[in-house]
Structure 1
Amino acid sequence: MPHSLQVAQFRTLHEAGCFVMPNPWDVGSARWLRGQGFKALASTSAGFAFTQARADQDVPREMMLAHLIELVQAVPDIPVNADFENGYADEPADLAMNVKACVATGVAGLSIEDATGREDEPLYPFELAVERIRAARRAIDETGSGVVLTARAECFLTGHPDALNEAARRIAAYAEAGADVLYAPGPKTREQISTIVAAAGGKPVNQLIYGDFGLTVADVASLGVRRISIGAALARAAWAAFIEATRLIKEEGSFAGFAGNGPSAPLNPFFRDDLKARS
């Protein structure tokens, strides 16, 4: 079960201001981000999937639950939020059971998305999507854990023809259904972000920043966003450098891909000191 202190910390972070919640994909990246002073971390389904030689959304439930336990144990003094995809279930009753399993990993928060993962129907029908959030809310309440529930409207990422308006409609409904935090990944402009914040009706909003949209943390905060996550952006950045370096070796016999490498020197002393502190 989550430690009440981490849950309380996580809830407090959402009460005022705006904080960045980066997404590690393993123990090393989690410890490094903690060491940089971030106050909360979140898992990334894609980032973790790549470490397991799997595509995003192809990680089975039990493997994801084990990963969440690993992350929580890696940073026991700060909150961890779980990217719990669609809850690994379609029906609300099954979703509720899986949400309780996620809470049992020790996370301080979890997100449930309304994407089905199916090409023929990429989003759950509106009423079912709302009932799924209600079911997740009830499941968390039954645990007595206070874990923070984030509801995600995946309209942008699934290519909905009227993504902004549909996301706003769903965000408003999810807020009413009991979500603590609202999240519509995809908006990149001030106007789009402001629309989502307004739809949340005063509840905290998470904004995904996965690229250079010309917005700073201060810019996003000024729009009323309470939390910024970066999804798999850090993992993708690491993989991008790896892919380009290996391409140059394979295709050109060149090691020029290493030219931009930062020094690895900070890693050894950091992890040695960090291990001593943990031990």
Structure 2
Amino acid sequence: MNALRELPSPLVLPNAWDPASAVAIQSAGAKAIATTSGGVAWSRGVADAGGMNRSVALEALRRIVRVVSVPVSADIEAGYGDTPEEVAWTVAEVASIGALGVNIEDSVDGKVIDASEQAERLAAARQAADLVINARTDVFLMGSRSVDETLRRAERYAEAGADSLFVPGVVDAVTIKALVDGPLPLNVMAHPGAPTVAELAALGVARISVGSGIAQAAYGLAAKAAREVLGSGTYESLTEAMGYGELNDLLR
């Protein structure tokens, strides 16, 4: 039995990018953790959306899974492969590492690919391992922003074996409700200004994640603290820092 499927809805998945962020998120009470390709890529000194290869992504995942006890869902971008067989190989490797879920997106090189092509990739992933497949569609991020097109893709992805539909770029109640009534449980990516977790739950959202938001906040704090110490020479930006001993103990 896949423990990720047994968690209550809505499932709130804060996104980690390295072992320290993962244990910090777990210590905050998370029942499961998702990774973020953006955070992982930036921590490796490369850009997101094409800058990271399969081996780097899998090694980062391995380090995260090793230090936490809660289920982990892996952001594998478009699957790090040009063919369904290559995507299946990536998914099998994710399962062997110990993650219990994957996000697989339908955009490659900045373009949303044909729904039939993505359905083949998802079907291959489904055959490769018993993971929770969160099928991400980027129709609202870089496509037509069409609810009808998103629902058509949801139908195809459900038939291919996806467990849920992830639609980044959607936070308004009317669109969320239309997608919640579709064929797959909905994952919303929240950000400042989005509905609260309680409000999203009331709309029927099944999964809530924050993408690269926590990583961006951490790097934003790094820049803010550096500007402060280099400018005014003060250190107030560091008052929200996790204690050295607390973080160190989480990794023992």
TM-score by length of 1: 0.83
Give the alignment partner of residue 181 of structure 2, picking from 179, 198, 216: 198
What amino acid is the match of 1:261? L
Task: Please tell me whether residue 104 in structure 1 is matched to residue 96 in structure 2.
Answer: yes
Give the alignment partner of residue 221 of structure 2, picking from 235, 238, 241: 241
Give the alignment partner of residue 261 of structure 1, picking from 233, 238, 247: 238
Task: Please tell me whether residue 220 in structure 1 is matched to residue 200 in structure 2.
Answer: yes
CA shift at 1:78, angstroms?
A: 0.8
What amino acid is the match of 2:124? A
Task: Please tell me whether residue 161 in structure 1 is matched to residue 161 in structure 2.
Answer: no
Tell me if structure 1 keeps the 8 A contact 2:72–2:101.
yes
Between the aligned partners of 1:267 and 1:245, the Cα distance in structure 2 is: 16
Tell me if structure 2 keeps the 8 A contact 1:24–1:235.
yes
Between the aligned partners of 1:96 and 1:29, the Cα distance in structure 2 is: 28
Between the aligned partners of 2:100 and 2:27, the Cα distance in structure 1 is: 19
- The residue number in structure 1 matching 2:112 is 123
Task: Please tell me whether residue 11 in structure 1 is matched to residue 5 in structure 2.
Answer: yes
- The residue number in structure 1 matching 2:135 is 151
Structure 1: gaps spanning 5 or more residues: 141-145
Between the aligned partners of 1:218 and 1:190, the Cα distance in structure 2 is: 13
CA shift at 1:216, angstroms?
A: 1.1
- The residue number in structure 1 matching 2:124 is 135
Between the aligned partners of 2:224 and 2:245, the Cα distance in structure 1 is: 28
**SS in structure 2 at match of 1:111:** strand
CA shift at 1:272, angstroms?
A: 4.6
Between the aligned partners of 1:60 and 1:47, the Cα distance in structure 2 is: 14
Q: Which moved more, 1:28-37 or 1:79-88?
A: 28-37
Between the aligned partners of 1:225 and 1:64, the Cα distance in structure 2 is: 28
CA shift at 1:268, angstroms?
A: 2.6
- The residue number in structure 1 matching 2:247 is 271
Task: Please tell me whether residue 38 in structure 1 is matched to residue 30 in structure 2.
Answer: yes
CA deviations over 1:174-230 (Å, ceiling 9, x no partner): 11211012111110101111122122x2x42211113322x1111000111111111
CA shift at 1:239, angstroms?
A: 1.3
Between the aligned partners of 1:196 and 1:131, the Cα distance in structure 2 is: 22
CA deviations over 1:18-55 (Å, ceiling 9, x no partner): 12110111111111111111100011100111111111
- The residue number in structure 2 matching 1:143 is none
CA deviations over 1:80-123 (Å, ceiling 9, x no partner): 000010001122122112221222111011111101124xxx01
Between the aligned partners of 1:107 and 1:273, the Cα distance in structure 2 is: 24
Give the alignment partner of residue 63 of structure 1, picking from 50, 56, 63: 56
Structure-2 change in CA distance of 1:249 and 1:271 (3 Å): closer
What fraction of aligned residue pairs are identical, expressed as a percent? 36
- The residue number in structure 1 matching 2:83 is 91
State the Cα RMSD in Å: 1.9
Tell me if structure 1 keeps the 8 A contact 2:225–2:238.
no
Structure 2: gaps spanning 5 or more residues: none
Give the alignment partner of residue 169 of structure 2, picking from 186, 195, 199: 186
Tell me if structure 1 keeps the 8 A contact 2:188–2:208.
yes
**4+ long deviations beyond 6 Å:** none
Tell me if structure 2 keeps the 8 A contact 1:47–1:236.
yes
Between the aligned partners of 2:213 and 2:138, the Cα distance in structure 1 is: 17
CA shift at 1:273, angstroms?
A: 4.1
Between the aligned partners of 1:82 and 1:71, the Cα distance in structure 2 is: 10
Aligned residues: 251
Between the aligned partners of 1:244 and 1:40, the Cα distance in structure 2 is: 30
Give the alignment partner of residue 230 of structure 1, picking from 210, 221, 237: 210
